[in-house]
Structure 1
Amino acid sequence: MLQGEDTPLQEPIPRRPLLSPLDQFPGSLSNKVYLSLKQAILSLVFRPGEVLQKSEICDELGVSRSPVAEAVARLGAEGLVDIVPQAGTFVARFSMQEIREGAFLREALELAAVETVAETITEEQLVLLRRNIRLQEVLLADGDVPGFYQTDAQMHELILSFTGFRRLASLADTSWVHVNRARRLNLPSPGRIQATLEEHRAIVAALEARDPQAAREATRHHLRQLITFLEPLINERPELFAAG
């Protein structure tokens, strides 16, 4: 028998979805598309320098070009994509200038917050932090990097919320957006997740001791590890970084 004779054609292998379904996100249709795209960029599903094909995004999310265009414009304003006329839309490469600036702003906010919280933290708030740390331990043991990353972010959000300032977490998140994406290169590195957990334990221990100075120092040490890790990557992975 000739190869292929009377043999059914193989079905094409479906492409793995890159974007989270829109029903996971709040707001208008364009806001849902924006949040889905932003999640994919921050989690490095879309890599720095990669072309964003609007037609493929429309097909995957089941939407028209209009909400996708609005979402891409918002991402461009945040510096997460580069829109080049007659060339296309590209996921922005990392900028060490923006990463350093974001890290500086986030550090200023978090150090002020953790120092305040160390003086005012309640036992109920400490219980929430201890539970968060235990969950981090379980996720580390299970090798669940995305889950660990999410729980890590929740710990920082808890501390910021304990200040009682409602806008603080939003301000910190805005300043951290470029650092947030770059740090995804960090956690999968050997030993980094364990080290991150130890740094988190030190922060919580300082808060349990209600020691503002120790809380500041533990937080400063933790936040500065990212820059220490990223600096060598400029030479090791230059394709991920913008020139200059």
Structure 2
Amino acid sequence: MLLDKDGILQDVIPPRPPLQSLDSLPGSLAQKVYASLKQAILSLAFRPGERMRKSEICEELGVSRSPVTEAMTRLASEGLVDIVPQAGTYVTRFSMAEIHEGAFLREALELAAIETVATSITEEQLVLLRRNLRIQEALVRDEDIAGFYEMDAQMHELILSFTGYRRLAFLAETSWVHVNRARRLNLPSPGRMQATLAEHKAIIAALEARDPHAAREATRHHLRQLIKFLEPLVHERPELFANH
């Protein structure tokens, strides 16, 4: 974490947690390595600006250099790593321009989706959202940031899936990739999980009321909280951001 329990930014960086085991991942060897490395980047296990050493990754995952190289090339195409000839591969620093663009695209998709869902949501779909919300509440009580993050993402995915448009979740995830990584800086801040839970409750209450306007406004408010948090962080932790 980059914030302690009192919200103080820390300069001491804890050791990186282990990479996700390849045995738990689907696909070819290169796909598994890619998924493991991407998860580590998005979770900030690999920090912005950190060098990713192929030899260490190969040893930890028990693979040759070839699938690691292939995975890194794919990550570079997504803008998650920078491959510098004769220097190495580095995790891309945050870019507020890319974060703003991603947030804009995600907001456009989610606001359109929530309005549609608010007029067509079924009781069975509401049951799924309420169940997700109850799990979120338990995770907040347990102060389980990682678990809450997963259920947060699942709630948004459920709402997008309720539109019936199969490609919508993929488009949202693609546009959100840089924002998604930056969100990991947000949840550890004091009170943010509780505030996020309250925002989720407002969204689901609007869906239960089948009120498109209320659902749209609750979603807009929720999505814009991240930018409010990140903008001052550019100056407080400039080493995490590009061009600072």
Give the TM-score range, shorter chain.
over 0.9
Indicate whether 1:49 and 2:16 are aligned.
Answer: no
**Alignment match, 2:168:** 168
Give the greater-gyration-radius structure (CA): 1
Q: Report the counterpart of residue 30 of structure 1 in structure 2.
A: 30
Which amino acid is 1:174 matched to? T
TM-score by length of 2: 0.93
Aligned residue number for residue 145 of structure 1: 145
SS of the counterpart of 1:79?
coil
- 8 Å CA contact retained: 2:206, 2:215: yes
- Give the 3-state SS of the residue equivalent to 2:52 in structure 1: coil
Give the 5 Å matches for 1:83-94: 83-94=83-94
One-letter amino acid of the counterpart of residue 174, structure 2: T
**Structure 1 residue 168: Cα displacement:** 0.5
> Residue type of the partner of 2:58?
C
Shift of 1:18: 2.2
Alpha-carbon distance, 1:16 to partner: 6.9
Separation (CA, whole Å) in 1 of partners of 2:218 and 2:184:
21
Equivalent residue for 2:154?
Answer: 154
For structure 2, list consecutive stretches of 5 or more residues without a partner in the other structure. Answer: 1-14
Aligned to 1:9: none
Decide whether the 8 Å contact of 2:17 with 2:45 is kept in 1: no
- What is the CA–CA distance in structure 2 between the aligned matches of 1:112 and 1:157, rounded to whole Å? 14
In structure 1, C-alpha distance between the alignment counterparts of 2:17 and 2:232, rounded to whole Å: 32
Please give the per-residue CA displacement for 1:98-119, whole angstroms capped at 9, x wherever unaligned: 0000000000000000000000
Identity of aligned residues (%): 79
Q: Secondary structure at the match of 1:176?
A: helix
Distance change >3 Å, CA 189–CA 159, structure 1 → 2: same
Q: Please list every run of 5 or more consecutive structure 1 residues that lacks an aligned counterpart in the other structure.
A: 1-14
Look up the equivalent residue of 1:36 and give its one-letter code: S
| Structure 2 match to 1:223 | 223
Q: Which residue is equivalent to 1:107?
A: 107
SS at match of 1:232: helix
Q: What is the CA-CA distance between 1:24 and the residue it aligns to?
A: 1.5
Q: Structure 1 CA distance, aligned partners of 2:66 and 2:17? A: 21
Structure 1 residue 23: deviation in Å? 1.5
1:195-206 matches, cutoff 5 A: 195-206=195-206
The code of the aligned residue for 2:111 comes to: L
Superposed displacement of residue 136, structure 1: 0.2
* Cα distance change of structure 1 residues 240 and 16 upon mapping to structure 2, 3 Å threshold: closer
How large is the RMSD of aligned CA atoms in angstroms? 1.0
Which residue identity lines up with residue 26 of structure 2 in the other structure? Answer: P
Aligned partner of residue 184 in structure 2, secondary structure: helix
Q: Which is further off, 174-183 or 19-28?
A: 19-28
Structure 1 residue 84 displacement after superposition: 0.6
Residues 175-229 of structure 1, C-alpha deviations (whole Å, 9 max, x = no match): 0000000000000000110000000000000000000000000000000000010
Distance (Å, rounded) in 2 between the aligned partners of 1:27 and 1:174: 20
SS at match of 1:89: strand
CA offset at residue 17 of structure 1? Answer: 5.2
Structure 1 residues 17 and 203: CA distance shift in structure 2, 3 A: closer
Partner of 2:61: 61
The AA in structure 2 aligned to 1:106 is R
2:32 and 2:105 mapped to 1: Cα distance? Answer: 28
Contact 1:17–1:60 (Cα < 8 Å) also in 2? no
* Alpha-carbon distance in 1 for matches of 2:51, 2:192: 30
TM-score (norm 1): 0.93
